[in-house]
Structure 1
């Protein structure tokens, strides 16, 4: 039953989520820290009043600042910025185009909208440098600028005034791109709504003008560059063409025309020699054909030649002979051959045959003469062709260098023509003034102020207050090194946690009198934990020690003695805090004689024992305050008292002085079986507790564990009545369950 009680109590205070990592060895495993969010929540609860005061102060300060702020008016102008320019002409600009450069382009435009040159142009266009109302609209006193106590010149004052105006413009303008669009809002804020509207509209107009000016400037630079390049290319082109002409003249190359490819480059030259050779070659071919034809006609003979057949004279002679031959044949039919008329006809035939033969021979001689003439003409043409071929071969060798000069001239001409064309295009593009920025919605004069906004300022004040309060609580939490949570005991002190006790506002004796109270339940759990601290159960003799006074040490000693007495154990509670006694006050006992008397030499300590109204609990008061308590405790009488006391009592509980600043506690801890170390929640610093524990360890004291007291004040996570207390099982008083059943 005791073991079950102890485990249940450990589980209640071990993990806020209801988990328990504590073994059955009495708490050697210790407690774990709660989740980090719960730690923050407990910190906020601990410093809730300070945090509430900080937040309230920030809210009040925000309201005051809001009421004291001058109203500001914001005017908005919306413009559209296109990535591609409007192509008024088909002439391309000088800027490279690329869809992947959109982000870079728009980021550049947003930066240019906040550039100083743009603010200077707006100030110049609206004459804000000489406008006192502009400074008044931004809360700047004009008299401060006019007061020249620094000894600056007028020029320096004007320059300073210009810088001030430009800085005010840049600080008051806000560029707000609309996500996933080409639209940009230009917001300007001042105390004067009309001025805000004027500046917002002028800002957009000036930005468009500056954009066009930059285009003009860029095309002007490009034109200047192209002009210098054109001049150089013109000189190179003239020089290369001069070389072509000179080399052609020196080499005897007379170019009639040039053959060019689709790109306009010269691939071949048609020279005079080549043309002459071409003509003579054609003539030679014709002469050869004529010679072959004449030779063929010359070799043919007889009347079967084409000339004989087609000759009119031969045809006439043949007709006459045929007619006379017909007459002669007719005549021979009637007359004898010797008839004179027949003889005359025969003579005519012979004359005609002779004429035909003579004409045929003439044609044959004409063919022979034609062949001779054709052969001579062919030979002459062949000689001329051979000579021109030699000349053309010589020119072709020289034409290699000529072609090099020609290609260089062609290249220079192409570069010159391309740059000249580009120069003309840029000139046209620059004069057109293409613009890719348009005003979509001009600013209108606002009717209501944009700030201060009380609701927004309150929200901001609350957020700032929460941040400041959280930072303050965190800083105080870091400064305060006290142990607040059960899980910190083992982590910081390397000691097991025996139990925790709640903060008691009234008399702890009254809480102990109620066995159903959380206070009694806590100490009963501690008694159960100590029952497992040794192999023989609850230690025979223990000392209750703390780091400093007022940590609940005496209350713990009294409570442990009371709980032990109720378990039918005879307990002797000894007040060894000789410097500041308190045990007798819990039991309304006397303190005229006590433990100091025994230590000083009174041998009969039993005469010093006083009975109490608590069951089985006897006490020995501290007695008179000695001059040196450490000297009394350093003798052998303390060890003797413990040995003799255990012969008459089952347990001895000694209320020891605090450790820090005194040597009493280590002397007492050495004489008893073990020590119960009391630590107040959010009390002594962890480093002080560790130093005290170290002193006890140096005295070879055995520390059973730590009791964390007054948990209600420093920690909310393990406070009683906050969901993790010892109220389990006592939700209804004894007898109430039966009454509820009867009423039901």
Structure 2
């Protein structure tokens, strides 16, 4: 594996993500692949849950009692059809009034309707009905007398029966229509049909009864209001007549008055209006007579004189005589007898004309005086009537108040009377706005249980339960199963993973350069080359949380791989409590690390060569009484310094961390720590505790190695494989 994450800094704390089982970070696996990995890892749990739910669903379905659903369809109209244009006492519903339908749906599911249906079908006293729906009949309402239920418990049984019907009824409005389906489900197909039809019929009946009750209530209310309005009208009329009699106010009905008001006119007002009109006419006549009188003062030049036929005749005759007289004067003297005779006639005509003009002038003067007298008489009468009218107006203020009250009461009474008549007619001819479209038929097949649907639901439930269990187990499982979990759970850079092989000793597997073990550790060596600026650390220790996690095999393999890269390497067995390197070299551990730590300085006597693997090894030496005391001093640091003078790399097989103080002491002396973690073998919480101990000792942890990894159990998606099919030697990597 060429990519190596940065090493864990000293003092840093390995952390776990918020949700165990899901990788986070920039290089994390896609979420779908993560859940797929969880599903594959816990596939048997998921399949077991699905199988269990499937079998349980099948058993429950086969054991369920068949249920039959009967459906009746009704139509609920917004407007009520009527034979007249009169409105009833109920308010007419608007076209967009959706509350109307919601109210109707609620009425269809009302307790009163359910109990009414139960009563009509005689279910209240039907023992088979309560047994059919599994009602506990130990209640006092179900006490029997003479083989029948007692009458005392009837109200309670009615409530129970209504509740049973409500629990099994389903009101299903058809979307974007006025149709509503009434579905009733029970174990008896015939019973379901009877209840569905009875439900629709009783709903229609209750709707009609509500309308009748509303109309009846409205009629009674209007009747009471009418009686009160009649009393108020009579009282106001009596007050009006009494006041008019006291004040001697006499009014006549006005012509053209409306039906709802009593318009009246006063006699004084009528007389004043008539006299005022006569006064105006008399004034006009007086003015005309005065004009004629003034004009008559001019004598014969007045228009009256000019229009007088007698005067005009006399003047014409005088003109003729004057003409004859003038002809005589041409020939004769005035004393000529015919001339004197003509002159005498002319004088007589002049006197007649004067008398006639005087008569005309006197006639005009008499007409003027008569007109003036009549005008003055009318004016005096009008002034007297004005005073009387003003007095009447003052006395009519209260009268008008009483009159307005009479008009108001009469209008209110007439309106209530008309409404009372309309409500009575509307209540008698109203048509129900609810009708049955399709009555319920006896169902031929049960509506439930439905085997396929129930099994599908059981499969979905099983899958959901299995997925939940898988996620729960994934979160509770602290085992390190996949290489990616080394980084995700522990916060350690992953150096590589080692496959689990059995049946072959590690030394033999390392000698075969085509084995899977060699391929894995070559990758680990490559990763170690990127951990420091100078490549593979010169001194490193290999440790683990507990024994038998493969740390000794890892230390042996790292030393082998480094030696094959032409490096001079020494492997030191630092586990003085349970040494193992001497077994690999076929020697005893009479001389080794414990001797040097105890004071022996000759390193050459403490080492031996592992020629086949190409490096030098140092055993743990005799097992001391307390290894930690030997490691506490400066001798270990001195040993590493002297070994680095002769070797390129010093690899120490360190004891496990948990329960011992040896590993932290060794870790603080080397350049870096390689941490071995057993796949599917240890809880991550223990590993993190061990890492905290190493970090507390200021150890530099280079990374982790996942040992005993089985790719077929990981299902991680990386496709781990080793050796490319060359050989599959089985190696014991438990040490």
Determine the structure 1 residue equivalent to 2:87. 92
Gaps of 5+ in 1: 12-28, 326-349, 735-744
Contact kept, 8 Å, 2:141 with 2:157, in 1: the verdict is no
Equivalents in 2 of 1:511, 1:251: separation in Å? Answer: 141
SS in 2 for 1:654: strand
User: Which stretch of the first structure deviates more once superposed, 166-175 or 576-585?
Assistant: 576-585
Shift of 1:464: 1.0
Distance 1:582 1:95, change over 3 A: farther
Which of 166, 173, 189 is the equivalent residue of 1:170? 166
Distance 1:627 1:453, change over 3 A: farther
> How far did 1:121 drift?
1.4
Which residue is 2:533 aligned to? 535
For 2:407, the equivalent position in structure 1 comes to 410
TM-aligned CA distance change 1:488 to 1:592, over 3 Å: closer
TM-score (norm 1): 0.77
Distance 2:114 2:127 in 1: 17
- 617 and 356 in structure 1: CA distance in 2 versus 1, 3 angstrom threshold: same
Secondary structure (helix, strand or coil) at the match of 2:66 reads coil
- Kept in 2, the 8 Å contact 1:584–1:621? The answer is yes
Residue 426 of structure 1: which of 408, 423, 426 is its match? 423
Q: Which residue of 1 aligns with 2:196?
A: 200
SS at match of 1:672: coil
Q: Match for 1:696 among 694, 697, 719?
A: 694
Query: What is the Cα deviation at residue 503 of structure 1?
Result: 4.6
Given that 2:304 and 2:360 are in contact with CA atoms closer than 8 Å, whether structure 1 keeps it comes out as no
Match of 2:542, SS?
Answer: strand
Range 68-77 or range 564-573, more displaced: 564-573
**Match of residue 75, structure 1, among 70, 79, 85:** 70
- Shift in Å, 1:185: 1.6
Q: 1:176 offset after TM fit, Å? A: 1.7
SS for the counterpart of 1:671 is coil
Which residue of 2 is the match for residue 436 of structure 1?
433
State the alpha-carbon separation in 2 of the partners of residues 159 and 610 from structure 1.
Answer: 103
Deviations 1:7-64 (Å, cap 9, x if unpaired)? 3x879xxxxxxxxxxxxxxxxx997432333222222122111111111101000000
SS of the aligned residue for 1:704 comes to: strand
Contact 2:68–2:448 (CA under 8 A) maintained in structure 1 = yes
Q: State the secondary structure of the residue aligned to 2:442.
A: coil
Indicate how the Cα distance of structure 1 residues 704 and 213 shifts in structure 2: closer, same or farther if over 3 A, else same: same
In the TM superposition, residue 223 of structure 1 has moved relative to its aligned partner by 4.0
> Given the alignment of the two structures, is residue 497 of structure 1 paired with residue 457 of structure 2, yes or no?
no
Offset of residue 362 of structure 1: 8.2
Residue in 1 aligned with 2:326? none
CA spacing shift, 1:440–1:639, aligned 2, 3 Å:
same
When residues 643 and 412 of structure 1 are mapped into structure 2, their CA distance, relative to the original with a 3 A threshold, is: same
Structure 2, unaligned stretches of length 5 or more?
A: 7-23, 322-346, 728-735
Q: How far 1:617 moved relative to its partner?
A: 4.0
2:570 is equivalent to residue 565 of structure 1: no
Structure 2 residue 58 is the aligned partner of structure 1 residue 63: yes
Within 5 Å, which residues of 2 pair with 1:113-152? 113-140=108-135
CA drift of 1:159 comes to 4.4
Three-state SS of the structure 2 residue aligned to 1:130 is: coil
- Give SS of 1:572's match: strand
1:438 is paired with a residue of what secondary structure? Answer: strand
Q: Secondary structure at the match of 2:175?
A: coil
Secondary structure of the equivalent of 2:656?
A: coil
Higher relative contact order (CA 8 A, sep 6+): 2
1:547–1:732: structure 2 CA closer, same or farther, 3 Å change rule?
closer
RMSD, aligned α-carbons? 4.8
Tell me, yes or no, if structure 1 residue 43 matches structure 2 residue 38: yes
Cα 1:397–1:486 change in 2 (3 A) is farther
Matches of 2:142 and 2:216 in 1, distance apart? 45
Q: 1:231 to 1:486 in 2, by over 3 A?
A: farther
Are residues 247 and 708 of structure 1, via their aligned partners in 2, closer, same or farther at CA, if it must alter by over 3 Å? Answer: farther
Higher deviation after alignment, 422-431 or 207-216: 422-431
Matched, 1:449 2:429: no
Structure-1 separation of matches of 2:269 and 2:555:
134
The one of 378, 382, 385 equivalent to 2:379 is 382
